[in-house]
Structure 1
Amino acid sequence: MVKGSVKGQGAELEFYNVTLLNASDSSLITGSAFSEVNFSLQASPAEGYILKVTSMGFLPVVKRVEASANLDVGLIVLAVETKELEAVTVKGKKASFTQKNGKLVMNIQGTTLSDAGTVFDALSRIPGLRVGTDDKVTLVDKGAPLIIVDGKEVRDNEELNRLQSNDIVSVEIDRNPSAKYDASVTSVLYIVTKKKKKDHLSLQLSGRSRNGLGLNVKQSYNPGIKVNFRKGRLSNYITYHYGEWNYKGNFSGHLTNKVGEYSYESNKRGLWNNGYKSQRAFWGSTYDLAKGGSLQAQYSFSDYSNEHNINTLLTLRDSDSEITRITDTKRHSDGRLHTLALVYEARIDSLNSLTFGTDYSVKDNVSRSDIFEGNVAYADRTRTRMRNDTEYSVASGKIDYRGELSGIGVQAGAKYLWTQNDGLAKSLDLEDGGVNFNNGNETLDQIFASYLLANKSVNKWSFSAGLRIERTKTNVKLNDRVLLDTVYVGWYPSASVSYALESEAKLSFTYSRKIQRPDFWSLNPSISYLDSLLYSQGDPTLSPASIDVCNLNFSLPLGLSLFAEYEYYRNSIMWTAINSPGTVGVVKRIPINLSKTEYLNFGANYNFSLDKLNLNSSVRVGVPFIKVPYMDGFRELRDPFCSVDIDGDYSLGKRFQLLAGFHYISRRMRDLTMYAEFWDSSLGLQAKFLDDKLLVTMRSKYIFSSDSFRWLGRYGTIEQGHNDKTNRRALIVYVRYNLNEFKNIFKDKSGGNDALRRL
């Protein structure tokens, strides 16, 4: 164990890096980044160490120290660089990948990505990550990751939206997280942000506008204000954002179904427009305790209002007749989210700490749809009002310990998560006032989990092993009738081994077991009609899936890293379609369990920097091995897919940067549905003024891109297809002005992120 403390001479350190080398051959033993004054590193035995401490804007400190079982190097003071040295540092600032125990780490601070704009603008430029128009973050071939900011889970995207790109130090992508995390978490996005400890008052104003360049109107506005102030040990952070979005598009779809000698077909085409308004507010306060640790409290609020209109021309055919109907749907929905969180962190000493956290969230959504459907040839018509109300309550409490026992790093903890979902689905006939159906459903989930994780470094080797135990109790009711009442216990081990090769190359292997719980939509037994020939219904008896994941990572010099991954699913969950029992020609979509599915994934990440040019690229290739019950036999799915991401920038002097990006994903199978290939490109210009306090970015997205989003599913004699043809070309303008140097020092402390993600 090597420990000590680091400070800046006459200036504050936001973060610093400590690297420990073997004195005999200068090979890397270990290293990490720190934001607190004190640091500690687990070190393997050696004849002697070379200790290197670095921080941007400061001169590095390198010295040889003697090896011992518990070495304290004392206080290290870093001197501020001269102006000439700072100029050299700025000129060479580039984004780059590094590997850390099988995780991919992308540096943000001191790179061009720090001026990307919002946190979502920065994440969208990281190869392998996708950010949708709704700011939903996904990892290629992994879905939505758990997002953690400085060790605290982000419960909702509205809370993540508080961050700006210049708040971020680094982003770490973990494709195979350990037993420390919830067993349902298949990937983690870990964001490290800057911190500021001195007394200060800071203000930041920002605005983001998106304007459509094509025939489809796409406009959005997102102004915001942030205030951050600290006095003594007390810090406060307040934000407010307002947003408006307006989108239009057109679509087409078809459904064919052959039942015996008869054939049923529906074809539809239509227009949709969507208007969305939201506001978000956040308050957080932290008090640094005299003996280390802190006490934190925060409250966040967000609400939204959505207007969604769809006009559809629907043609229904069977073997004997053809009917054309017009459908006009007007949907209005409102929602709110309140979250209150408390966290107490106790620092026992420089190596050991305890963290206690609790939070409570309430999220409600009210949706009302007025549906008019009429026959073009005849005077008959129907007018229906659909009402869907849902309210989610999520509470959690957890305790985490981090420290060292007999030279072994130890992490342990326990967590309780309580989630309740109350829903109401009601259909009214507006012509005669009758009730078509009125269903109330209730789902209650209770999860208790505990984990133990140990790690040890020996020479160039690093080892980690962990075990997580989760007990899940689920109760599902429909109209006060119990449909499911079950309890199951799962054991979820994890392990990793890494080895530091010569020339900065690293090799690591990780293993973990995960669980895929059915989301509440898949468990909900209520019927949801999509049109006259199609409806969906969940199955409360679905079993959770068990997943074994093995990951091999290999990082090489010159910015290249490779990985290979194998995933084995038991009872994987897949949506399919069948003929509705008792209703000829009507299709029912249902979720099912498959006994076994397998996936192989391969990938490479590469960073290239040359003078003023910087490129980051990523390539992914995946192959599924799925055997699905199909008609009277089985259907095997073996279609591979690939994705390519390239992001680059070119310096046009001190004030201007040219930005460009390209994303591609080939056609791919998901469940029994084939999704068409998709690509897009972007081009932009960035400028800084007023001593870099004013940042202006203009970026045109989807300049050259596929003009539609298409998918096609075949389920025996049933075929369903959809084509969303929308011109996505848009010009995004981002403006940020810093009054004083603004730093975000509060992060989300919620513990129930996984529950809300399932909702």
Structure 2
Amino acid sequence: MKTTICTIYYALLLVVAGFTSAFAQVTPTGTKIVGKLINEQTAPVDYATVSLLKAGDSTVVKGTLTDETGLYTFENVKPGIYIIKATNIGYTKAITGPFTVEQSKQFFAMGDIKMGTASKTLGTVTVTSTKPLIERKIDRTVMNVENSILSAGNNAMEILERAPGVTIDKDDNISLKGKQGVTVMINDKLTYLSAQQLATLLRSTDGNTVSSIEIITNPSAKYDAAGNSGIINIKLKKNKQSGTNGNLTAAVARANSIRNSQNLNINHKEGNLNVFGSLSRGDIPSHRVIDIDRKTVVNNTDNYFIQSTQMPQNYHYNNFRLGVDLDVSKKNTVGFVVSGNSNKENDLNYSHTNITANRTTIDSSLNTNSTIDQKFTNIAVNLNDRWQIDTLGQSLSIDLDYSKFNNNSNANYVTNYFLANGNPQRAPQLTRNQSPSVIDIHSAKVDYAKPLSKTVKLETGAKFSDVKTDNDLRAQKYDGSAFVNDTSLSNHFIYTEKISAGYLNLNKQYQTGSVQVGLRAEYTQSNGNLIGSTPVDRSYLNFFPSLFLNQTLDSKNEMTFSYSRRIDRPNYSQLNPFVYYLDPYTFEQGNAFLKPQYTNNFELGYVYDKTIDVSLGYSHTTDVNMEIILTQGNKSFQTNLNLAVQNNYNLNIFAPYTITKWWTGNANFNGFRGEIKADNVNGGSIDNKSTGFVFKTTQNLVFGTIKGEIQYYYNSPMTMGIYDIHRQQSISAALSKSFDEKKFNVKFGVDDIFNMRRNDIDSHQLGNDFAIRQKNDSRVFRLTATYNFGNAKIRQREHRTGAEEESNRVGH
């Protein structure tokens, strides 16, 4: 495998050399001018108007806007003497120059232009700018939800499901362009949670706090190598200027039960000090119905288990976040962030199973009722330092992180067995479990960037992480007089993992394109210790090359190509060999011998007129970590195994459009084909080829001061692993109206208006013969009120913490 990767890597380097030669032969048509606008606190000034003027008569030659980082660019500037003028609401006009552009220079770097705060305010003029819902950048797709009314009243999980190429299955596993293994970050920081706990966190994150969602299908070597299908980065709202601002949101919703949530965000910046924080709480009762119809064959005898389960759930969350940024100098900012949560979940499961040999006559039955009380607490601390060494772009950043998770679960199970006539078959079976879990995570990382010339930039860095999980399952059964320890079901699992990593990126800018090549190395040491059994030790060194090519063909056509190698280590719960029972015939078990899976990702992209975005991708994965269901006699259990290989192909098309002045919209089509093959799996084999697609469209309507949105979602039938997934579809809509100069906003929306959304699957492989029919309370009526107070233009400094690759891997 290493030989293959090295061959690919060297071949790609030859491609880079070829592109470099080709780019070098392009005849320059002018000079490229690049600069940056900053305010008095050295923060970037975004969406300001920048004009290039002739120095002689102040004639406007070119005009542009700064991006969200304050950068602006003028292409193809002819030789001459120029000045630059910058204007923006809330700032005084800034002029710099004159300066001379010579014909021999292909690139001209301007120094930072500082804009002062205007002393007068415009009380009678309101200027607003709205970013497009979807933006395509060189290495990612950005979904700007800050101005979408569907974000108000919804949570981050529901917003994420609307992002291009994103699907979420019945177990809250997130897929991107038809592939699982997504790494999820919030504000460039990984969440350290399993799929279930990540879904819980996202559902407790108020949508009103979300600014954008970044989809990075092929991350560079600067990012941790985890995630075979890429990274989803959820960006929370930021500050913009000196002063105090905030917002208060209250929401009430109705599904099968009443839900409520409240959220407070507040920010204050004065001088060189910026303080920000948020508090949120909510109660989210929900209800789910699962019907399972499965067949087993034991000694050539058919047995049918027809199971129906009612699963009411009540979830209560309390989240907080507090941060401080201190500008110790004009070039150095030190930050401190502490965040945490205290969440509770109460589950009641009522399960009835009929057992029959012919589906018509019930031979016996059982009822399993369970109550599960869970409490999740988490504290995370980050200390960071950002040093802008010079104005040319040389910088150094350091992050130190510590996170601690305490998850406690107490479960009680009562199973009653009945004969065909309904009389008790035997005494009820009473069991109870206590499952305390503690997870400690330490990490430290450093990133350094240095421009080697006006067109070449070097990035390098290192990271170390140390993780320890301690899961102690204490099972007891009732022996007729008292609860006694059940050693056959109790176990204690301790897992430790240390990862040392370093990376190198080299970026070369050309007049009409760019090339970036990178290499990341990660050395992993792990130990899985089920007390009483032989520990499982592993250590391995991996290299992860990456390549990015960008070529502007003309003013309306742009091409990109990217390649990266990725790794997916098993999450901590998958490695834990505990056995979790739904009833005596249905359970879940971890696998301490799971190995990482490796993926090579390729993607070719095309953008037309900065709007229509088309990408074609291919990935090849080895040692695929897949969830499967196996049978043991009449029992069925879910586990994860390393299977052989998987190939994925995907086509993604995003197209915005305008019908009239008051009606705009966009459409997203994501088609994919998956091929997976594995032999000797529980005495059988898997050879699946499946094609499917997801289609989403959003309509934006404006009726005076009232805004409306309608979204349609369709997920075609498809096969993923051993599961045949039925189609899914839904229609959602919302209306919003602002009052008091947009300080107060009221929104009413309905998710899944026609209550069509279901999660139904079948499986007829590896000895399985079952059908699952699942319905959540997907139709939700929402009423949300948001009040914005204070200065609405405060900017909070962004930074990436050191809590990276370990995300999404915390156990239950």
- Would you say same fold, with TM above 0.5? yes
Q: 1:121 to 1:639 in 2, by over 3 A?
A: closer
The worse-fitting range, judged by mean Cα deviation, of 114-123 and 167-176 is: 114-123
Deviations 1:376-404 (A, max 9, x none): 32252111112222111111100011221
> 1:479 and 2:531 equivalent?
yes
Shift of 1:441: 0.5
> 2 CA distance for matches of 1:521 and 1:439?
14
Q: What secondary structure does 2:435 align onto? A: strand
Question: Of the candidates 238, 258, 282, which is equivalent to residue 277 of structure 2?
Answer: 238
The worse-fitting range, judged by mean Cα deviation, of 378-387 and 122-131 is: 122-131
Question: Of the candidates 605, 617, 630, which is equivalent to residue 667 of structure 2?
Answer: 617
Match of 1:420 in 2: 468
Contact 1:678 1:705 in 2 (8 A): no
Shift of 1:482: 3.4
> 2 CA distance for matches of 1:73 and 1:306?
54
> 1 CA distance for matches of 2:596 and 2:282?
37
> 2 CA distance for matches of 1:566 and 1:54?
45
Q: For 1:102-181, what aligned pairs fall within 5 Å after superposition? A: 102-107=139-144, 123=160, 125-129=162-166, 139-143=176-180, 145-148=182-185, 151-153=188-190, 171-181=213-223
> 1:652 and 2:700 equivalent?
no
Deviations 1:438-483 (A, max 9, x none): 2100111111111111111112121010000001111001115333
Match of 1:587 in 2: 636
> 2 CA distance for matches of 1:20 and 1:488?
54
One-letter code aligned to 1:666: S
> 2 CA distance for matches of 1:52 and 1:184?
44
TM-score normalized by the length of structure 1:
0.88
Shift of 1:248: 2.0
Match of 2:341 in 1: 302
> 1 CA distance for matches of 2:61 and 2:153?
35
> 1:398 and 2:445 equivalent?
yes
The sequence identity of aligned pairs, in percent, is: 19
> 2 CA distance for matches of 1:10 and 1:748?
16
Shift of 1:720: 2.7
> 2 CA distance for matches of 1:317 and 1:160?
41
Q: Structure 2, unaligned stretches of length 5 or more?
A: 1-31, 55-59
Question: Of the candidates 633, 637, 648, which is equivalent to residue 599 of structure 1?
Answer: 648
Shift of 1:588: 3.9
TM-score normalized by the length of structure 2:
0.82
Match of 1:343 in 2: 384
Shift of 1:3: 5.3
The worse-fitting range, judged by mean Cα deviation, of 600-609 and 73-82 is: 73-82
Q: What secondary structure does 2:283 align onto? A: strand
Match of 2:47 in 1: 16
Match of 1:728 in 2: 778
One-letter code aligned to 1:336: T
Question: Of the candidates 592, 601, 620, which is equivalent to residue 549 of structure 1?
Answer: 601
> 2 CA distance for matches of 1:296 and 1:710?
47
Question: Of the candidates 372, 379, 400, which is equivalent to residue 331 of structure 1?
Answer: 372
Q: 1:748 to 1:321 in 2, by over 3 A?
A: farther
> 2 CA distance for matches of 1:316 and 1:208?
45
Question: Of the candidates 351, 354, 359, which is equivalent to residue 401 of structure 2?
Answer: 359
Q: 1:540 to 1:208 in 2, by over 3 A?
A: same
Q: 1:130 to 1:695 in 2, by over 3 A?
A: farther
Contact 2:338 2:382 in 1 (8 A): yes
Contact 2:561 2:605 in 1 (8 A): yes
Shift of 1:682: 0.9
> 2 CA distance for matches of 1:444 and 1:307?
30
Q: What secondary structure does 1:16 align onto? A: coil
> 2 CA distance for matches of 1:83 and 1:504?
37
Contact 1:155 1:751 in 2 (8 A): no
> 1:207 and 2:250 equivalent?
yes
Match of 2:733 in 1: 683
Q: 1:491 to 1:424 in 2, by over 3 A?
A: same
Contact 2:189 2:804 in 1 (8 A): no
> 1:460 and 2:491 equivalent?
no
Q: 1:61 to 1:558 in 2, by over 3 A?
A: farther
Q: What secondary structure does 2:573 align onto? A: helix
One-letter code aligned to 2:652: G
Shift of 1:566: 0.1
Q: 1:715 to 1:354 in 2, by over 3 A?
A: same
Shift of 1:436: 2.2
Shift of 1:270: 2.5
One-letter code aligned to 1:467: L
The worse-fitting range, judged by mean Cα deviation, of 49-58 and 231-240 is: 49-58
> 2 CA distance for matches of 1:720 and 1:115?
39
Q: What secondary structure does 2:806 align onto? A: helix
Match of 1:741 in 2: 791
Question: Of the candidates 584, 588, 593, which is equivalent to residue 536 of structure 1?
Answer: 588
Q: 1:291 to 1:331 in 2, by over 3 A?
A: same
Q: What secondary structure does 1:486 align onto? A: strand
Contact 1:109 1:169 in 2 (8 A): yes
> 2 CA distance for matches of 1:315 and 1:208?
42
> 2 CA distance for matches of 1:239 and 1:47?
51
Contact 2:37 2:45 in 1 (8 A): no
> 1:628 and 2:678 equivalent?
yes
Shift of 1:275: 0.7
Deviations 1:44-73 (A, max 9, x none): 999689989786889999999615465335
> 1:72 and 2:115 equivalent?
no
Question: Of the candidates 228, 231, 241, which is equivalent to residue 267 of structure 2?
Answer: 228
> 2 CA distance for matches of 1:613 and 1:539?
52
Shift of 1:18: 9.0
Contact 1:6 1:78 in 2 (8 A): no
Shift of 1:751: 2.7
The worse-fitting range, judged by mean Cα deviation, of 285-294 and 520-529 is: 520-529
Deviations 1:403-444 (A, max 9, x none): 211341121111111111110112211344232232100111
One-letter code aligned to 2:788: N
Contact 1:284 1:746 in 2 (8 A): no
> 1:569 and 2:621 equivalent?
yes
Q: 1:689 to 1:277 in 2, by over 3 A?
A: same
> 1 CA distance for matches of 2:565 and 2:595?
16
Shift of 1:585: 2.9
Shift of 1:642: 0.5
Shift of 1:6: 2.4
Shift of 1:613: 1.3
Q: What secondary structure does 1:522 align onto? A: helix
Shift of 1:572: 0.8
One-letter code aligned to 1:334: K
One-letter code aligned to 1:66: V
> 1:33 and 2:67 equivalent?
yes
Shift of 1:631: 7.4
Q: What secondary structure does 2:674 align onto? A: strand
Deviations 1:507-559 (A, max 9, x none): 00000000111122322222223322233322222221110000011011272
Q: 1:327 to 1:404 in 2, by over 3 A?
A: same
The worse-fitting range, judged by mean Cα deviation, of 703-712 and 128-137 is: 128-137
One-letter code aligned to 1:264: N
Match of 1:410 in 2: 458
Q: Structure 1, unaligned stretches of length 5 or more?
A: none
> 1:184 and 2:219 equivalent?
no
The worse-fitting range, judged by mean Cα deviation, of 49-58 and 655-664 is: 49-58
